Amino acid sequence: MSRNRDFTRVVPNIKDWPIYKLSNEKEQFAKLFIERSLEQIRLKTPNKQQLEDELVKAIYLENIRLKQNPWKVDTKEEKEFWYGLKKNLNKRTQLQTSNRDNSVFESIVEKYAYEILGNFNEKTYDFAETATAQAFNRLLNPTRLLGNYDAQDQASKRIHVMGEVDAIRKLATKGTIVLLPTHHSNLDSVLIGWALNYIGLPAFLYGAGLNLFNNRIMGYYMNRLGAYKIDRRKKNSFYLETLKTYSKLTIQRGCHTLFFPGGTRSRSGKLESKLKLGLLSTVVDAQQLNFTNPISKETANQKIFIVPLVISYHFVLEASQLIDQYLKARGKEKYFTGTDSIPSTTKFATFFRKLITSKSNLALNFGKPMDILGNLVDKETGESIGIGGKKIDIKDYFTNFGKLTQDDQRTSEYTRMLASKVSERYLSENVVLTSHLCTYAAFEILRKRHKRLDLYGLLRLPKEDRIIPYDHFMKVIDKLRNEMIEMHDAGKLVLSPYILNSNLDRFVKYGLNNAGIYHNKKTLFLTKDGNVSSEDMKLLYFYHNRMTGYGISNLF
């Protein structure tokens, strides 16, 4: 891991940040946003009957949503709006698309647009900048509850920012950055926000679940820090097209943006391999539109740079709940939870003691920047680099018989290509920590020992069958580390310094101590006899999954 250092702001004046300018012109942008959304929906519903069908479907789905899955953030006015549309619709004896229906359709899109729209406030950002550093310092150094110190400096010693930071800082002044992070914890968003501020980048636009706005305080700050709202309950085409239009337009405006392409937190603990193509396609669309239909002279032909970001934790706060959700969805009747779900006072005390005394570190690895086709780009100029190191102009990939054209089918294909490249980069940019290696080795040893058991049988192994002789564990770890070092040297993954530079006993001890340290039950530990075991096979499986995808299970 590279040593953290101090960074100056790439763009010193906040008023020059794209996100600030967008917020300052909010009403003007909202008008364009609504117009483009209406245009896009009309393109997808070219005749009156199709538009009528989508209108009826939207009203029907929205009334079901409000009745079956209400949230605190749903307002009285919203309920009245959708109920009123349904009531008027039921009064009509024959459904026909009229001027009135067009008015209803436009009012729906306008309502969605103003719900999605984010905001940015300079004073709130300045306050959050300090508060976030303080909060992280309390989390990572919980024994230091009092005293004057530099919270930003303390946090930077525990959160290792790695990778192509210098290149990204340069490219942020030459085009638009779209950051695509892995997603394993609710801590991710705040952590990324801290890291972007730490390396001196302007604030990024990001999507936040509308349910998070149920909390008034959280909603207040997110609404003033660049968050636009995403309501995953809304499945109708009007909403989805409006949301995608917002993403396209803001990227076209040059707003640096981040979203989680996996769509949600990884329930299994694995690195994301199947990415959601909806928002990802808006990035490809935005690049195409910068060539064919730019939003302004300043952004005409502007390049969009894709940056994968891999976050590596020794622990995930919500691991128990996440793996439960994954196993229930996958195993159904094969999976059941035990009755001992409430921790005892002793176990809770042990958990709290570990919380306040642990010294676990985190790593954020900013990957190699790419263009929207997945080609690597020159770190200085931003030019795309093709096969054999040849510089290429991606504008050529949006032409047909020498002319720039828009092509939805081509966009779909480029989106799939980009998703595949990002998934590959997640594996190669993954920072493998000591706990990852230890949990992977332990679970695979037990899997091979009990070949006849399926996954759910393994998860129910009695305690006496989970014990792994220490000498055998060390032999497997030694073999696994040697294989990992070869992969590290080949650029297939990134190993932490503890794995690369420590002797075997030291790094294994560190890995065992840090494996899921924030949980009541020990993910891995040494028994009184000096052997390796686990108190929670589900957690062991969850953390083991981080290393799947490399094809190394045959080593066991």
325 part of a folded domain: no
Q: Do 399 and 515 share a domain, yes or no?
A: no
pLDDT of residue 508: 93
270 part of a folded domain: yes
Residue 167 contacts residue 248 (beta carbons within 8 Å): no
| Beta bridge partner(s), residue 385 | 391
By residue count, the chain amounts to 556
Q: Categorise residue 345: left if φ over 0, alpha if ψ from -120 to 50, beta otherwise.
A: alpha
Q: Please tell me the distance from the alpha carbon of residue 215 to that of residue 331, in angstroms, as a whole number.
A: 34
Q: Please tell me the distance from the alpha carbon of residue 62 to that of residue 334, in angstroms, as a whole number.
A: 35
SS3 96: coil
The residue among 429, 458, 473 that closes a domain is 429
Cα–Cα distance list, 208 to 152, 163, 230 (Å):
25, 26, 6
Q: Do 66 and 189 share a domain, yes or no?
A: yes
Q: In the structure, how many helices (H) and strands (E) does the chain have?
A: 21, 15
Q: Do 373 and 469 share a domain, yes or no?
A: no
Q: Do 253 and 302 share a domain, yes or no?
A: yes
Q: Please tell me the distance from the alpha carbon of residue 129 to that of residue 224, in angstroms, as a whole number.
A: 13
DSSP 228-261: EEE-TT--SHHHHHHHHHHHHHHHHTT--EE--T
Q: Categorise residue 254: left if φ over 0, alpha if ψ from -120 to 50, beta otherwise.
A: left
pLDDT of residue 438: 97
Which of 346, 350, 345, 396 is closest to 371 using CA atoms? 396
187 part of a folded domain: yes
The residue among 429, 445, 471 that closes a domain is 429
* Local confidence pLDDT in tens for the 556 residues of the chain: 444 567 999 999 999 999 999 999 999 999 999 999 999 999 999 888 899 899 999 999 999 999 999 998 899 999 999 999 998 877 764 445 455 667 899 999 999 999 999 889 888 888 887 776 666 555 555 455 444 445 455 555 678 999 999 999 999 999 999 999 999 988 888 889 889 999 999 999 998 888 777 777 777 778 788 889 999 899 999 999 999 999 999 999 999 999 999 988 999 999 999 999 999 999 999 999 999 989 988 889 999 999 999 999 998 888 999 999 999 988 765 555 443 333 444 544 444 344 444 556 789 999 999 999 999 999 999 999 998 889 999 999 999 878 888 888 999 999 999 999 999 999 999 999 999 999 999 999 999 999 999 999 999 999 999 999 999 999 999 999 999 999 999 999 999 998 999 999 999 999 999 997 778 899 999 999 999 999 999 999 999 999 999 999 887 7
Q: Do 440 and 528 share a domain, yes or no?
A: yes
32 part of a folded domain: yes
323 part of a folded domain: no
Q: Do 337 and 369 share a domain, yes or no?
A: no
Token output for 146: 């009092």
| Beta bridge partner(s), residue 363 | 160, 312
Cα–Cα distance list, 102 to 32, 54, 99, 205, 378 (Å):
18, 12, 5, 31, 48
Number of domains in the chain: 2
Residue 27 contacts residue 117 (beta carbons within 8 Å): no
56 part of a folded domain: yes
349 part of a folded domain: no
Residue type, 118: G
353 part of a folded domain: no
pLDDT of residue 334: 57
pLDDT tens for 109-162 read 999 999 999 889 888 888 887 776 666 555 555 455 444 445 455 555 678 999
pLDDT tens for 508-545 read 999 999 997 778 899 999 999 999 999 999 999 999 99
Q: Do 13 and 130 share a domain, yes or no?
A: yes
Q: Do 475 and 547 share a domain, yes or no?
A: yes
Alpha helices in 358-469 (DSSP H): 408-429, 434-449, 455-459
The secondary structure of residue 214, as a DSSP letter, is G
Q: Do 51 and 138 share a domain, yes or no?
A: yes
Q: Do 160 and 235 share a domain, yes or no?
A: yes
Q: What angle do CA 536, 446, 452 make, to 5 degrees?
A: 115
Q: Do 488 and 407 share a domain, yes or no?
A: no
425 Cβ partners below 8 Å, 6+ apart? 308, 367, 368, 370
Could you tell me the residue range of the domain that residue 302 belongs to? 1-313+362-429
211 Cβ partners below 8 Å, 6+ apart? 71, 73
Cα–Cα distance list, 541 to 37, 272, 509, 524 (Å):
44, 16, 19, 11
Q: Please tell me the distance from the alpha carbon of residue 15 to that of residue 38, in angstroms, as a whole number.
A: 31
pLDDT of residue 101: 64
Q: Do 416 and 509 share a domain, yes or no?
A: no
The residue among 410, 429, 448 that closes a domain is 429
